[in-house]
A = this chain, B = another copy of it.
Amino acid sequence: MVDILHRVGIKSSLGDAYKAVATREGVAGWWTDDVGGDSKVGGALQFRFSADGKELGRFEATVLELKPDQRVLWQVTGGPVEWIGTQISFDLKQEGDYAVVLFKHHGWKEPVEFMHHCSTKWATFLMSMKSLVETGQGAPNPKDIKIDNWG
């Protein structure tokens, strides 16, 4: 088992950072703007990526935990085979003026090349989340997203 780990400091309250990961509207502002489902414990979420009207990929997850201002945990149920059964968590804590988000995409079976790619992409999306919370403007669903070679 191998994990993708990241940490981002957001100059915001815990509440604003939590909203960005715990609500459909929040996630739509930094990951992909096409989010379906219900962000409630036991609910299912669908995250779809597309470009020029063509669907490029989608992920589905069940919400396992929603602890206000503290933690969000998703269990991945659909998407690329390497993602199925993995878990994605966001742990939050306040440090001075910053809401610190500790991110973990846990339970990859092998450190395949696709995992390297997803690690880099998650960092980019977490920077998009930081921008969303700090400035009101994230960069979800980038138009240059590709399955291969996306930088």
A interface residues, Cβ below 8 angstroms from B: 2-10, 95-96, 98, 100, 102-104, 111, 113, 115-117, 119-120, 122-124, 126-127, 130, 148-151
Taking chain A's interface residues, is the majority helix, strand, or loop, or is none over half, making it mixed?
Answer: mixed
Question: Could you name 15 residue pairs across A and B whose Cβ atoms are closer than 8 Å?
Answer: A3-B111, A4-B119, A5-B111, A5-B115, A5-B119, A6-B116, A7-B120, A9-B151, A96-B149, A98-B149, A102-B113, A120-B123, A120-B127, A122-B123, A130-B151
Copies of this subunit: 2
Using Cβ atoms and an 8 Å threshold, which residues of chain B touch A149?
9, 95-96, 98, 100
From B6, B96, B103, B119, give the contact of A7 (CB < 8 A): B119
